[in-house]
């Protein structure tokens, strides 16, 4: 599903115009981004939670040259699926 399809599906559910629905999605993404930048965890019922995690520095080896490289620590976004969504996915597997 691409962004346009998503907007159209959501528009049918919320009964708003395409422009209003698109603005709603943009505003939601802006709020989520702002909260993650402030290192807050976001929990959405029946969907899951997003949180910022710090990935520790590590050493890796370039397989071609054999050189060891230090990868610095960085922040990544972690997603944990809600138990409700996990159950729904088990009930309706798509093959």
Question: Is the pTM value of this prediction over 0.95?
Answer: no
Query: 91 falls in which pLDDT band (50, 70, 90)?
Result: confident
Instruction: Spell out the SS3 assignment of 14-75.
Output: HCCCHHHHHHHHHHHHHHHHHHHHCCCCEEECCCEEEEEEEECCEEEECCCCCCEEEECCEE
| 51-75 pLDDT, tens digit each | 999 999 999 999 999 999 999 999 9
- Predicted confidence band at 14 (pLDDT cuts at 50, 70, 90)? very high
pLDDT in tens, 75-88: 999 999 999 999 99
Residue-wise pLDDT tens digits, 27-59:
999 999 999 999 999 999 999 999 999 999 999
pLDDT at res. 43: 95
Residue for token digits 């709603």? 24
Give the residue carrying structure tokens 């029946």: 46
Contact residues for 47 (Cβ-Cβ < 8 A; gap 6+): 82, 85
Q: Is 9 helix (H, G, I), strand (E, B) or coil?
A: helix
- pLDDT of amino acid 95: 56
């Amino acid at each position: 599903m691409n962004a346009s399809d998503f907007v159209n599906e959501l528009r049918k559910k919320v009964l708003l115009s395409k422009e209003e629905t698109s603005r709603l999605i943009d505003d939601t993404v802006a709020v989520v981004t702002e909260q993650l930048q402030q290192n807050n965890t976001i929990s959405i019922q029946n969907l899951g939670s997003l949180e910022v995690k710090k990935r520790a520095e590590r050493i890796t080896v370039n397989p071609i040259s054999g050189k060891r490289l230090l990868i610095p620590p960085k922040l990544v976004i972690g997603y944990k699926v809600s138990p409700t969504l996990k159950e729904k996915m088990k009930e309706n597997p798509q093959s």
